[in-house]
Amino acid sequence: MIEKKFVLETEEGLHARPASMLAKATMKYKCDIKLFKDKDKTNAYQPKSILSLMSVGAGKGEYLTFVTEGDDEGEAMRSIENLFASNFQG
């Protein structure tokens, strides 16, 4: 299991374009991926779904924690890291 926290830096927050990019990137992996907003560990969102991602309601400067667990968890987390590192530009 890998757990990492990221700060959302996009001006519009987790809107349609970044949500779409994140869902597309995470759908490739078989491992279980969960997303938690801020410090709330009771409500998990499924980042493999655009609708679930948009329902997070995350704005600029908010923290998002991702947890990957399974065979390809490392690759999945690297994919998520790359999106945040590029500020969803690529």
Q: Which residues are catalytic?
A: 15
Contacts from 59-62 at CB under 8 Å and sequence distance 24+? Answer: 59/8, 59/13, 59/14, 60/8, 60/9, 60/10, 60/11, 60/12, 60/13, 61/7, 61/8, 61/9, 62/7, 62/8, 62/13, 62/37, 62/38
